[in-house]
Structure formats: structure tokens, C-alpha cells
């Protein structure tokens, strides 16, 4: 069974009595489909290309006539500025630390809660779920001042705690996890219970592995949301040494001087390691999913 499932991922299944694997319709579909996807990739990539080439241009060249994507020559001043006059490496390390920790925490909490909402019936379930959804609907700017006040009282100003803990509970994650775990057959869980498995063991050995796709998405979502976070870290952090990349780079754009090239350089550089990790992890996830995410 798994063999054909694996095969189904990559090779079109011959449909009995209809289309064959090499029919012109399929080929046309392939061409058009790929064209569509490639166009999407191109449109997505263009601004990035622009950003990367901008990082090799001196400030004046960014806005110049005649227009040119490519830099006149490889200008390294922006990178020198970035490494020589800012705490860029420190910012990057801070970002990684904060984002990773927050992500791991958020995934666990969201999975557990999502599981409960998906697979259990309990009193207040609907009310609580609506509450979860409800918290998503208030814009951060409404909550920022009282939340800031709390951070001061806890003495968490200028500390990573204020970046990690309050946002460890990600309602969107609970919602996402619930939707996913809904499709796990109840019989699976019942059988395990009858077998004598404890609830935590069920969670660990049945739910977790089956939740791999949603964990992957949550990881991306939480990590990138934390990476990008701007206004909250700005409100609670004062020490430059604790700034994240997303906080530090915009500070290169001030009322008297705008170092766009350096911002682009920093943004480009900070995505490179993340992308590398993403590619490596993707392999793993894909292998995992490919090999056996088949439910019986």
C-alpha cells in the first residue's frame, strides 16, 4: 500500500478507461501548470532580487536615472556599515534565540489545546473555543499599553521573558491544530485507550506523529511571526544589545539619514541561514510524510 502511495506522489496514476500517463491533456496541464507556478515564483522573487542588488549599491544609486537593477559595481559599504557599526550579529543571535524558544513553546501549547478541542467533549468547550477565536480579533495596539504596564510590574522590561512568555499562547495555533486533528479517526484513539494506553501516551505516540504536517506549518508560522515582530519588542526593549534583527534594521533609517542599502543587506543576510535550515528540515518532513503518513 505504501509503495503505491509513494508512487502516487510523483507519477500520475493511469486512469482506467480515461487518460493515459502521456496524453496530450496531461502534458498541456503540466506545461501550463508549471508556467503558472514559475510565474508565481518569479513575481515572488523579483523584489528579493531587487533587494539583494540594492544592498550592493551605494545610497545615491538606489534612486537613479537611468534605472538599472544591477549595481554599477559591487559596493560593499553597506555590508561594512552593517558589521562595523551595528550589532548585527548580536541582533541576529537574539532573533534566533527568541523566535526558536517562542516557537517551541507555542507549538506545544497549541497542539495540546487543539487536541483537546478536536477530540474531546467537555463542558464549556464551545464557549472556550469562541474565546480563543475572540482573543484573535483585538488589534495589538489596543492591548499594548496595559500589557506594557504588566511587563513593568513583572520587571520584564528589557528582558527576553516579555518577548517569549506572553506570546507563547498562540490562539491561531490552537485553531490551526484543531482543524487538523479533527480528521484523525476517533477509532484510533478509542482502540488505544482500550489497549490501556494513558492519555499522555496517546498524545505522544499517536497524535504527535500524525500532526507532523501541522507542526511544520505552525513552526513556520510562529517562527516567522516572532522574527518579524516589531512593535512589541520595540515597546519592551530598551537595550540595543537585546534588539532583534527586525528591530535593529529599521533603526538604520532615521530622520536625518536613511541607510536603505544596509537595511537590505541585513535583511538578505538574516534570511540566508533561516532558509538553509528550512531546506534541511523540509527534507526531513517530506521524507517523514512520504514514507508513512497514510492512515488506515
Partner 1 sequence: MSAHETGEGSKTLIGGQAVSRRTLLKTGVWLAGMSLLAACGQPGAQPSGGGAAPTTAPAAAAPTTAPAAKPTTAAAAAPTTAPAGAAAAPTQAPATTGAAATLEFWAFANERLGFVKDAVQAHPELTINYRVFPYQEMHDKLLAAVTSGRGAPDIVDVEISRFGGFLKGDTVPFVPLNDKIGTDLDSLYQSAATDPWSWKGKIYGVGNELNCCLLAYRKDVMSDLGVPTPFNAWTDVIAAGKKVVAAGKSKLFALHDLHFGDYYILTQSAGSQLFDENGAFVGDNDAGVSAMQWLQDQVYKEQIAGIAPADAQNMWNGPAYWAAFKAEQFVGTFGPPWHIGVWMANVPDQAGKWAVQPLPKGIGAGKPTASFGGTGQCIPTQSKNPDAAWQVIKLANFSKEGALSDFKSRTVYPAFKPAYDLPELKAPNAYFSGANFGEIYSTVAPTLTPFRQSPGWPDASDAVNRLVITPVMQNQKDAKSALNEAKTEIQKTMSGG
Partner 2 sequence: MQAESTLAGVRPARPRHLARTFTPYLFILPFFTIQAVFLLYPVVSALFLSFYQATGVGARKFIGLGNYVSLVQDPRYLHALLNTTEYALGSILILSPLALLIALAVRSFIVPSDNARSLYRLAYFMPQLTSFVVIALMFALVFDKDYGLLNNSLAGFGLPKIGWLRETSLAMPSVIMVSIWTFVGINSLYFLAGLQNIPHEINEAAAIDGAGRLQGFWYVTLPMLRPTLLFVIIQATIFSYQVFDLPYLLTGGGPSDASLTVVIYLYQAGFQQFKLGYAAAIGYSLGIISIVLSLIQLRVFRRWSEV
Site for partner 2 in 110-149 (CB under 8 A): 110, 112-113, 115-117, 120-122, 125, 128, 130, 132-139, 141-147
Task: Say whether the peptide bond before residue 226 is cis (omega within 30 degrees of 0).
Answer: no
Q: HSE on the CB side for 159, CA within 13 Å?
A: 12
Give yes or no for residue 212 binding partner 1 (CB under 8 A). yes
Q: Which residues contact 161 (CB under 8 A, 6 or more apart)?
A: 154
Quick check: 114 and 133 in contact, CB under 8 A? Answer: no
Give yes or no for residue 271 binding partner 2 (CB under 8 A). yes
Phi, psi of 30 (to 5 degrees): -60, -45
Measured from the CB atom, is 257 or 295 closer to partner 2?
295
Per-position x/- string for 72-111, each x denoting binding to partner 2 as judged by CB under 8 A, each - no binding: ------------------------------------xxx-
Select the binding partner of residue 172 from partner 2, partner 1, none (C-beta < 5 to 8 A, by kind). Answer: partner 2
Q: Name the H helices within the chain.
A: 2-10, 24-54, 59-62, 77-85, 88-119, 125-136, 140-153, 161-164, 171-181, 186-194, 199-202, 208-210, 212-228, 231-236, 245-248, 260-292
Of the candidate residues 96, 177, 221, 265, the single one contacting partner 1 (CB under 8 A): 96
Select the binding partner of residue 264 from partner 2, partner 1, none (C-beta < 5 to 8 A, by kind). Answer: partner 2
Question: Rounded CA gap, 207 and 284, in Å?
Answer: 18
Total residues interacting with partner 1, rule: CB under 8 A: 85
Of the candidate residues 144, 171, 172, 225, the single one contacting partner 1 (CB under 8 A): 144
Of the candidate residues 17, 24, 84, 139, the single one contacting partner 1 (CB under 8 A): 84
Of the candidate residues 64, 73, 85, 238, the single one contacting partner 2 (CB under 8 A): 64
The window from 21-29, 43-51, 123-131, 256-264 that contacts partner 1 (CB under 8 A) reads 256-264
Quick check: 167 and 228 in contact, CB under 8 A? Answer: no
Amino acid at each position: 500500500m505504501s509503495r503505491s502511495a509513494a508512487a502516487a506522489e510523483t507519477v500520475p496514476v493511469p486512469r482506467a478507461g480515461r487518460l493515459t500517463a502521456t496524453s496530450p491533456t496531461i502534458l498541456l496541464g503540466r506545461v501550463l501548470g508549471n508556467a503558472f507556478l514559475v510565474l508565481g515564483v518569479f513575481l515572488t522573487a523579483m523584489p528579493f532580487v531587487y533587494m539583494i542588488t540594492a544592498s550592493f549599491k551605494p545610497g545615491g544609486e538606489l534612486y537613479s536615472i537611468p534605472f538599472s537593477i544591477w549595481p554599477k559595481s559591487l559596493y560593499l559599504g553597506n555590508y561594512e556599515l552593517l558589521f562595523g557599526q551595528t550589532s548585527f550579529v548580536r541582533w541576529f543571535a537574539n532573533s534566533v534565540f527568541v523566535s526558536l524558544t517562542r516557537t517551541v513553546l507555542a507549538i506545544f501549547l497549541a497542539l495540546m489545546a487543539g487536541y483537546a478541542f478536536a477530540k474531546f467533549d467537555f463542558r464549556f468547550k464551545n464557549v472556550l473555543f469562541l474565546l480563543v477565536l475572540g482573543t484573535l480579533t483585538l488589534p495589538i495596539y489596543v492591548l499594548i499599553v496595559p500589557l506594557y504596564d504588566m511587563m513593568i510590574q513583572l520587571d520584564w522590561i528589557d528582558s527576553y521573558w516579555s518577548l517569549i512568555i506572553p506570546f507563547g499562547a498562540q490562539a491561531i495555533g490552537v485553531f490551526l491544530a484543531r482543524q487538523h486533528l479533527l480528521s484523525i479517526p476517533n477509532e484510533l484513539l478509542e482502540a488505544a485507550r482500550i489497549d490501556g494506553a494513558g492519555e499522555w501516551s496517546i498524545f505522544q505516540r499517536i497524535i504527535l506523529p500524525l500532526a507532523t504536517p501541522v507542526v511544520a506549518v505552525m513552526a513556520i508560522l510562529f517562527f516567522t511571526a516572532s522574527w518579524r515582530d516589531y512593535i512589541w519588542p520595540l515597546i519592551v526593549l530598551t537595550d540595543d544589545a537585546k534588539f532583534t534583527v527586525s528591530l535593529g534594521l529599521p533603526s538604520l533609517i532615521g530622520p536625518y539619514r536613511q541607510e536603505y542599502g544596509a537595511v537590505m543587506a541585513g535583511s538578505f543576510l538574516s534570511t540566508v541561514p533561516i532558509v538553509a535550515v528550512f531546506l534541511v528540515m523540509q527534507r526531513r518532513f517530506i521524507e517523514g510524510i512520504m514514507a508513512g503518513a497514510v492512515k488506515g
